[in-house]
């Protein structure tokens, strides 16, 4: 089995492709980063039918105020799923009592990149009426959420689309990519001068679209389309991390893209 297949979920891919083939919508959503209220408002805008799906591009957690709420909501919904992001990968490694107690470099890296807000959100969700934290209940929830995150695919391959958190290394064959590329790659993928897959548009998050090639501060909140085209005229790649979490001047929005119709729906950040 190739590494590419190891990181996929064949049953999920078949289900999503069947939904598309039958005319249903498959919405792809950029990085949520713990903004639960904004996510719920976006999903409400989508007016989902019972046969529609929502696929998140990873980084459900960190930075925003309610990562616990985001993970709980996506995990519980029968027609929502996600690919793994680099922030989930850090949470999987670091959100354990024995790891947090070490406060070593890897723990601090996650903590400083939004892990602190994630831990606080789980503590807050398990605070008793008297203000005491129920650590046993919290870690029971954490472990259940970690188990679910561990089960997520790292990318999803459909007939006309690839859904992945960060992207692909254009210098490597598609079946020889490592976990690191799927979760972390930036410039080599963004600046590829040929499609990494001649038949599929890569829809990705991870890098705020304002910093992608051809965009500038005037493009805060805009979807990015690669100037490189497929044979059918579609962009070779599409960036959906419109950066709901930033603190700069400019729109702070969460973005959904409908694979069926090409519709873009955005929700301005609700949380302060």
What CATH number is associated with residue 148? Answer: 3.60.21.10
For residue 2, is pLDDT > 50? Answer: no
171 Cβ contact partners less than 8 Å away, ≥ 6 residues apart? 188
Average pLDDT over residues 31-60: 98
Residue 6: pLDDT band with limits 50, 70, 90: confident
For residue 70, is pLDDT > 50? Answer: yes
| pLDDT for residue 60 | 99
| pLDDT for residue 3 | 58
Q: Are 168 and 204 in contact (CB under 8 A)?
A: no
Average pLDDT over residues 63-76: 98
Average pLDDT over residues 229-253: 97
| pLDDT for residue 192 | 98
pLDDT, the chain, mean? 97
DSSP letter assigned to residue 193: S
33 Cβ contact partners less than 8 Å away, ≥ 6 residues apart? 59, 60, 61, 62, 63, 64, 67, 87, 114, 244, 245
Question: What are 98-150's pLDDT values in tens digits?
Answer: 999 999 999 999 999 999 999 999 999 999 888 888 999 999 999 999 999 99
> What is the number of domains present in the chain?
1
| pLDDT for residue 107 | 98
Name the pTM for this structure. Answer: 0.97
Closest C-alpha among 144, 202, 165, 143 to residue 82: 165
Tokens of 249: 């001047």
Give the phi and the psi of residue 80 in degrees, each rounded to 5.
Answer: -120, 145
Closest C-alpha among 205, 195, 183, 180 to residue 255: 205
Closest C-alpha among 16, 39, 21, 18 to residue 29: 39
For residue 219, is pLDDT > 80? Answer: yes
* Rounded Cα–Cα distance for residues 203 and 201 (Å): 6
User: What string of DSSP letters covers 140-171?
Assistant: HHHHHHHHHHHHS-SEEE-SSEEEESS---TT
* Residue 82: strand, helix, or coil: strand
* Rounded Cα–Cα distance for residues 229 and 214 (Å): 15
Question: What are 147-194's pLDDT values in tens digits?
Answer: 999 999 999 999 999 999 999 999 999 999 999 999 999 999 999 999
Q: CA end-to-end span of the chain, whole Å?
A: 46
Helices of type H across the chain:
3-6, 10-21, 36-46, 67-76, 86-94, 97-102, 105-110, 116-125, 135-151, 179-184, 187-190
For residue 238, is pLDDT > 60? Answer: yes
* Rounded Cα–Cα distance for residues 20 and 159 (Å): 10
Tokens of 199: 């038949």
Average pLDDT over residues 2-16: 87
The residue whose two tokens read 């105020």 is: 65
Q: Give the domain extent around 121.
A: 3-268
For residue 1, is pLDDT > 70? Answer: no
| pLDDT for residue 223 | 98
For residue 52, is pLDDT > 60? Answer: yes
């Amino acid at each position: 089995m190739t590494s590419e297949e190891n990181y996929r979920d064949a049953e999920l891919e078949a289900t999503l492709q069947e939904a598309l083939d039958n005319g249903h919508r498959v919405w792809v959503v950029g990085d949520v980063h713990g903004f639960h209220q904004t996510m719920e408002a976006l999903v409400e805008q989508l007016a989902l039918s019972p046969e529609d799906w929502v696929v998140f591009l990873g980084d459900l957690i960190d930075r925003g105020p309610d990562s616990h709420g985001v993970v709980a909501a996506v995990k519980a919904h029968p027609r929502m799923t996600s690919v793994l992001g680099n922030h989930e990968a850090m949470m999987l490694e670091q959100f354990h009592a024995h790891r947090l107690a070490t406060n070593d470099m890897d723990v601090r890296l996650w903590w400083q990149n939004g892990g602190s807000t994630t831990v606080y959100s789980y503590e807050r969700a398990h605070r008793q009426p008297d203000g005491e934290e129920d650590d046993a209940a919290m870690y029971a929830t954490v472990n259940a959420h970690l188990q679910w995150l561990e089960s997520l695919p790292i990318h999803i391959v459909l007939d006309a689309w690839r859904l992945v958190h960060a992207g692909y290394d254009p210098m490597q064959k598609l079946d020889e990519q490592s976990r690191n590329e799927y979760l972390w790659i930036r410039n080599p993928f963004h600046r590829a001068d040929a499609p990494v897959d001649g038949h599929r548009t890569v829809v990705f998050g991870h890098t705020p679209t304002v910093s992608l090639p051809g965009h500038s501060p005037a493009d805060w909140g805009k979807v990015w389309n690669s100037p490189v085209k497929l044979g059918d005229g579609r962009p070779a790649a599409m960036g959906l991390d419109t950066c709901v979490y930033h603190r700069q001047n400019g729109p702070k929005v969460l973005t959904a893209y409908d694979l069926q119709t090409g519709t873009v729906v955005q929700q301005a950040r609700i949380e302060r």
